[in-house]
Amino acid sequence: MGLLTSTVGSFPKPKELVRARRAFADGDIDRGALLEMERGAVRETLALQESLGLDLLVDGEMDRGDMTTFFAERIEGMEISGLVRSYGNRYYRKPRIVGDVSRRARMTVEAWTFAREQSSKPVKAILTGPYTLMDWSFDEHYPSREACCLALAEVVRQEAEDLAAAGAKDIQVDEPAISARPEELPLAARALGVVTSGLRGKVRTWTHLCYGEFGPVADQVFALPVDGLLLELSNSGLDLLDALRRLPSDKMLGAGVLDVHTRSVETADEVRARIEKVLEAVPADRVWLNPDCGLKTRTPDEARAKLAAMMEAVRAVRAACGF
């Protein structure tokens, strides 16, 4: 069946978890207490997705403060520096690469396994890609961006293959940094290929790109070594539709049909109109539907309402298509 649904990965954290993470950072609670809070939030996030009827679930990244810092804290050869501004009034602690990178231990497998055990539906595993880890860090060690990126690709490859061995059937490797330097797409593709080459035929691989001028390099994007591409479409006014007509027949599209950078909640009719436009470019049996990007910047009520509108629209389009 086509028109299956998922999300890009992150969900808003409950206020009590935000307070617990702050208390842990201040030394007021221990790691075990924080873990219990995180797992409770994961259960709630999975239950929300199940209640709305999504097909492929995520754990909401409740254990991650930031998509690069989370991994940098667990990779040998990386340290965390001070706060830098990412966009708007949002800041994150930018990592520093100070030595040869290597994986100390599995970074996400236990959390993914826990999430999978909480639901009868499949749960997607999500990793930050090597190009983004490289580009969003200060490299104070490697002689070139290429050397740094490929070293990180080996670290991410090991984690991805451990996830596959643990039973993950969908693995998403996020590469949002590609949008800033499209001229480095060949490097990003090479590093992504290191991560996914051993997964082909075992799991469904995805990458997420967002908020860039991808039209001029669409064919390079479509050639990235993954099974599916999750692309932001709504915030940019569906400007990739013409290019998507050239999407190779062996690629799936995760179409962003919710704009996560606005508090305004789309109506089901608005989302349905976006879906129908996507279906003019890509056949329904290769289209998945999801928000443009992660939902962590929205409030819990906004995230729920947006996803509810998406699912209402999906059901209407499925019925019209005979699914």
Domains of the chain, start order:
4-321 (3.20.20.210)
- What pLDDT sits at residue 89? 65
User: In this structure, which amino acid lies at residue 279?
Assistant: L
Conformational region of residue 207, where left means phi above 0, alpha means psi within -120 to 50, and beta covers everything else? beta
- What pLDDT sits at residue 41? 97
CA angle (171, 177, 179) in 5-degree steps: 110
pTM, two decimal places: 0.95
Please state the length of the chain: 323
Q: Is 141 a catalytic residue?
A: no
- What pLDDT sits at residue 88? 64
CA distance 240 to 222: 12
Q: Are strands 252-256 and 228-231 parallel, antiparallel or unpaired?
A: parallel
Q: Cα-Cα-Cα-Cα dihedral of 267, 268, 269, 270, to 10°?
A: 60
- What pLDDT sits at residue 213? 82
pLDDT one digit per residue (tens) for the chain, 323 residues: 679 999 999 999 999 999 999 999 999 999 999 999 999 999 999 999 999 999 999 999 999 988 999 999 999 999 998 777 766 666 667 899 999 999 999 999 999 999 999 999 999 999 999 999 999 999 999 999 999 999 999 999 999 999 999 999 999 999 999 988 989 999 999 999 999 999 988 999 999 998 878 888 999 999 999 999 999 999 999 999 999 999 999 999 999 999 999 999 999 999 999 999 999 999 999 999 999 999 999 999 999 999 999 999 999 999 998 88
- What pLDDT sits at residue 86? 65
Structure tokens at 45: 């996030």
Q: Among 38, 191, 184, which Cα is nearest to 115's?
A: 38
Query: 182-207, pLDDT tens digit by residue?
Result: 899 999 999 999 999 999 889 999 99
DSSP string, 200-223: TTTSEEEEEE-SS--GGGHHHHHT
DSSP 199: T
Q: Among 253, 191, 194, which Cα is nearest to 218's?
A: 253
CA distance 97 to 206: 26
Helix (H) or strand (E) holding 192: helix 185-196
Paired residues of 127 in beta bridges: 173
DSSP 11: -
Structure tokens at 267: 């109506």
- What pLDDT sits at residue 119? 97
Question: Which one is catalytic: 103, 261, 277, 318?
Answer: 261
- What pLDDT sits at residue 253? 98
- What pLDDT sits at residue 214? 87
CA distance 176 to 174: 6
